[in-house]
């Protein structure tokens, strides 16, 4: 596009308010994702859980299944059991699945996997340096996700070894509006 000297139309962000608004919203979602992930990673978790439900499972049935599993796990746990679970609906075929972080000291991966029954279940030992907290909140941060389920209490706060810091301090200066 040719312009006269001094008649620079600017960027697409300057011309089109819808593009500018979309850009702002994307930037805000990215910031929410960073902050929510840092917040969640500030707690101690022992397991990462990913469960896929079969075609035809609805949100209500998925939620009930998750609540039932954690009820069974809680009765088997010898110590505290805390969790944060996000229910998502996948884009391909719309299958429900969950991502979650669990604090269950003393429980093995097999202990965590067993009560889910006949659904595709992947349970791993949680490694806070692998980004699981950010993966769990990715849809929530973008305004998606179908539901988020918290245990009645949160797990203990992560206390970094001396000399290391956490990103928790960022939370005080962030606005989600």
In-domain check, residue 20: no
In-domain check, residue 61: yes
pLDDT score for 170:
43
Q: How many domains does the chain have?
A: 1
In-domain check, residue 135: yes
Q: Given pLDDT bands bounded at 50, 70 and 90, which one contains residue 152?
A: very high
Residue 79 or 9, more confident: 79
Is pTM beyond 0.95? Reply is no
CA distances 54 to 59, 70, 93, 94, Å, are 12, 19, 10, 10
In-domain check, residue 101: yes
Residue 160 has pLDDT above 70, yes or no: yes
In-domain check, residue 1: no
Which CATH number do you get for residue 92? 3.30.70.1910
Closest CA to 115 of 170, 49, 57, 174: 49
Share of residues in the chain with pLDDT > 90 (%): 60
Least confident of 113-117, 151-155, 163-167: 163-167
pLDDT score for 59:
93
In-domain check, residue 168: no
């Amino acid at each position: 596009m040719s312009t006269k000297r001094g008649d620079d139309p600017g960027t697409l962000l300057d011309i089109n308010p819808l593009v500018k608004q979309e850009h702002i919203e994307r930037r805000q979602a990215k910031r929410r994702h960073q902050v929510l992930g840092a917040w969640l990673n500030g707690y101690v978790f022992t397991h990462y859980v990913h469960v896929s439900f079969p075609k035809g499972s609805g949100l209500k049935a998925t939620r009930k299944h998750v609540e039932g599993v954690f009820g069974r796990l809680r009765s088997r746990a010898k110590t505290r059991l805390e969790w944060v679970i996000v229910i998502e609906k996948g884009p391909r075929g719309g299958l429900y699945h969950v991502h979650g972080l669990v604090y269950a000291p003393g429980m093995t991966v097999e202990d965590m996997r067993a009560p889910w029954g006949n659904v595709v279940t992947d349970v791993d030992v949680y490694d806070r340096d692998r980004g699981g907290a950010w993966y769990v909140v990715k849809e929530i941060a973008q305004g998606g996700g179908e539901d988020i389920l918290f245990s009645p209490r949160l797990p203990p706060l992560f206390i970094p070894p001396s000399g290391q810091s956490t990103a928790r301090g960022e939370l005080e200066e962030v606005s989600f509006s």
